[in-house]
Amino acid sequence: MNCQNLLYRIVVISLVICALLGCGETEDTSSIALSETVIEDTASFSGSVVDETGNPIAGLMLGIRPFKIDDNTGAWTYLSVLEAETDDIGYFSITDIHPGEFQFMLAPGYRDGLSPETEHQLLSIKIGDFTYHPKDLRRFPFTRDTFSITPGVRIENVEVTVRLRMRIRAKISFADGTPLVNKEVGITIKTRDLHGNRSGSIGVTLQTDAEGYFIQYVERDRTTSYTVSANYKGLSTGLEEFVLKVGERREDLILELPGPPR
């Protein structure tokens, strides 16, 4: 399995916040002044989640993952995750946050017993007058740039913008139409930008679901062409090249293995 299939894959917001009175007016992104109301020792973090067109995203699980850093060793110790689900209008609220550092994440969903994945990717987060855009959603900056919150701070009206992650979903079947269900398959995906300046290839082992489908997420910041092939117990098959624009998905692919079920 690749790193995207971690038991708890997270998308970390690369942002440092010093919770001070007022709204941030400095261009120094290492600290952002926030409007706050001091109410108690624990803090809260609330707002709404929308897509690129401003439509609310309902039923999205979000989480705050507090952690501590050992001053002597630099080792990170993660604490229990605090979760919340957006309601019908995209609103969320996470309370009882203890002061200190934490990571804000989009929690993964579970599908047919397979490893969890996040269906959305973070595009931006707006707090007061400041809007933050992650630099690279394909990387996991575990060791830098996190939230820091002070006791009793209530951070409100946060606007989180997300979009569905780009992905390739394909069904694998044998020549007689029998789907290859609940099996591990070798998948190779070759990529090429439309100008021919960039090319690459990834090889992964993925598990098909109860209907014979596999899903591979592909995060790209430009229009890219893809070629997908599969190998199972000596049987190989491939697809013609196709193109995905930024934010698009391909859900209707069928890979047919030459031969009877095995």
Between CA 107 and CA 87 the distance in angstroms is 15
Q: Are residues 86 and 187 in the same domain?
A: no
Query: Residues 206-233: what's their mean pLDDT?
Result: 92
Query: Residues 188-213: what's their mean pLDDT?
Result: 89
Q: Are residues 160 and 199 in the same domain?
A: no
Q: Are residues 123 and 54 in the same domain?
A: yes
Domain boundary among 130, 164, 198: 164
Q: Are residues 186 and 141 in the same domain?
A: no
Between CA 92 and CA 50 the distance in angstroms is 11
Residue carrying structure tokens 């706050």 = 36
Q: How many domains does the chain have?
A: 2
Q: Are residues 90 and 22 in the same domain?
A: yes
Between CA 205 and CA 1 the distance in angstroms is 6
pLDDT of residue 116: 63
Q: Where residue 230 sits, what CATH number does that domain have? A: 2.60.40.1120
Query: Residues 167-175: what's their mean pLDDT?
Result: 96
Q: Are residues 224 and 183 in the same domain?
A: yes
Kindly tell me if the per-residue pLDDT of 40 is higher than 60: no
Q: Are residues 191 and 232 in the same domain?
A: yes
Is 262 inside any structural domain? no
Is 213 inside any structural domain? yes
Strand 147-149 with 249-257, pairing: unpaired
Q: Are residues 118 and 44 in the same domain?
A: yes
Q: Are residues 178 and 89 in the same domain?
A: no
Highest mean pLDDT among 60-64, 110-114, 144-148: 60-64
Between CA 87 and CA 168 the distance in angstroms is 28
Q: For residue 211, what are the domain limits? A: 167-257
What percentage of the chain has pLDDT greater than the value 90? 42
Residues 6+ apart with CB under 8 A from 213: 169, 170, 171, 172
pLDDT of residue 146: 67
